[in-house]
Structure 1
Amino acid sequence: MSKLVSYKRHRFPSQIIAHVVWLYFRFPLSLRLVEEMLVERGIVVSFETVRRWALKFGPAFARRLRRKTPSCRDIWQLDEVVITIAGQKHWLWRAVDQDGYVLNEIVQTRRATKAAKRLLKRLLKKQGVAPKRIITDKLASYGAAKREVMPDVEHRSHKGLNNRAENSHLPFRRRGRVMKGFRSPRYLQRFVSVFSAVRNLFVSPRSRRSPCATHLHRINAMAAWKVAANVAA
């Protein structure tokens, strides 16, 4: 795990800062809504301060969150979604596993083989092991990239097979509407990396659907979040 998060030279206690960042990335709340929720608790923090804390501490927390152990039995589902930034189209390429856990995502200006190759290379570097198979829609760029980057991995390409990857865009799209868009590709990349790391932690896998298991998962997730934020009791 990376080094501890430092709150030096900040007027507010670490618990408040961590709670604010958690609210912002965990729920579809605007900066001003987070500000309003804090006022109800008697905490006066401007929406601009919320934004600065999210930018500064969000990536640090995300780096410290527990990661799923890679496995050669994993099945990767890949998909891309278009995002318009300042009138220009960009594509957010995303890979999830068979449980819907976001493995990696990257913002690119092209929807072509070069972009697909970049995603696959990042995935292999980060995961350290190739998957059992990859599943994509019928975009030809995936097949071309797979043949160059991981030629021995099974590839299934059919519209509808990668529903899990397509559905993984929905929480991000809902959040994007609340934020009313993104100012730059760099800001989008930074935000979505933290957003997905937090969602990976708090959303229980499909195999844990009973109320008791879900409750236990949430307790463990919050404990892990406090450790990542360096505010554990």
Structure 2
Amino acid sequence: MKKTRHPRYARHRFPAEVISYAVWLYFRFPLSLRMVEEMLAARGILVSHETVRQWALKFGQSFANRIRRRRPTPGDKWHLDEVAINIAGRKHWLWRAVDQHGIVLDILLQSRRNAKAAERLLRKLLKKQGVAPRVMITDKLASYGAARREIMPGVKHRQHKGLNNRAENSHQPTRRRERIMKRFKSAGQAQRFLSVHDQVANLFRRPARANAADHRTSLAQAFRVWSEVSNTACA
């Protein structure tokens, strides 16, 4: 019996498995569009890097949204940090929040590094997570304290550079992608790409202190979820 093609992939020449695989490669690993094109060509799939880019734009965010909805309840300890990114000759600030398990909660790219920018991040986090954390951990930037007092005054706040390594380390994959992509072309492109990239990374993240058997189980579960969110299980 022939499997039913999901409506999401209607009018696409390539099968859903190929499109899903290309999108997964692009967001999961530090690969350029042309690298993904060559990896597909090695498997006999002839597709241009521009087509891969269009697939990433069309399907990436919807896949990420589905992954986010399936994500377990975040931890009650939020680590917040910001890092400078140069885009088209201008300095921007990438604000990121992760929980105590290393799961990226959200990111927000802004042109400012002040209390108003920190407030925007906290408002977005509260809207997306639906609940405030028990404690918020940041570096010594005073903007975090001002934003916390305004947005969630009941949350405990710890400011110590050494306590915030988890958030700082979460920026490393972004730096690798930035080098591969020869820097982001615009703030909008960076926001769109990273909002998908971080959710895919969350899904395939190796559990802390996991042995080989646990890692294989976690990886198999991640691929099952990816198959469901990309609608390839019925393709």
* 1:159 match: 161
Alignment of 1:113 onto 2:112: no
* TM-score, length of structure 2 as denominator length: 0.94
2:127 is aligned with 1:138: no
- After superposition, what is the alpha-carbon deviation per residue over 1:61-120, rounded to whole angstroms, capped at 9, x for unaligned? 11111443435x610000001111100011110000000000011010000000000000
In the TM superposition, 1:63-142 aligns within 5 A as 63-65=65-67, 66-70=69-73, 74-142=76-144
Matched, 1:215 2:216: yes
Structure 2 SS opposite 1:81? strand
Structure 2: distance between partners of 1:183 and 1:6 = 28
Q: Distance in 2 between matches of 1:37 and 1:60?
A: 24
Output the CA distance in 1 between the equivalents of 2:178 and 2:140. Answer: 26
Q: Which amino acid aligns with 1:121?
A: R
Helix, strand or coil at the partner of 1:91: strand
Aligned equivalent of 2:229: 228
Amino acid at match of 1:99: H
The 1-side partners of 2:171 and 2:53 are apart by 23
2:73 and 2:223 map into 1 onto residues whose CA distance is: 23
Supply the RMSD in Å over aligned alpha carbons. Answer: 1.3
After TM superposition, the structure 1 = structure 2 runs for residues 14-33 of structure 1, keeping only pairs within 5 Å, are: 14-33=16-35
Identity of aligned residues (%): 61
Change (3 A) 1:126 1:88: same
* Structure-1-length-normalised TM-score: 0.95
Instruction: Tell me how far apart the structure 2 counterparts of residues 69 and 219 of structure 1 sit (CA, whole Å).
Output: 17
Instruction: Report deviation, 1:140.
Output: 0.3
1:232 partner amino acid: A
Q: Which runs of 5+ in 2 are unaligned?
A: 1-5
Number of residues paired by the alignment?
228
| Runs of 4+ displaced beyond 4 Å | none
Aligned equivalents of 1:96, 1:32: Cα separation in 2: 31
Is 1:194 the counterpart of 2:196? The answer is yes
| C-alpha deviation, 1:183, in angstroms | 1.1
CA distance in structure 1 between the aligned counterparts of 2:188 and 2:227, rounded to whole angstroms: 27
One-letter identity of the residue aligned with 1:209:
A
- SS at the partner of 1:117? helix
How far off is 1:5 after superposition? Answer: 6.9
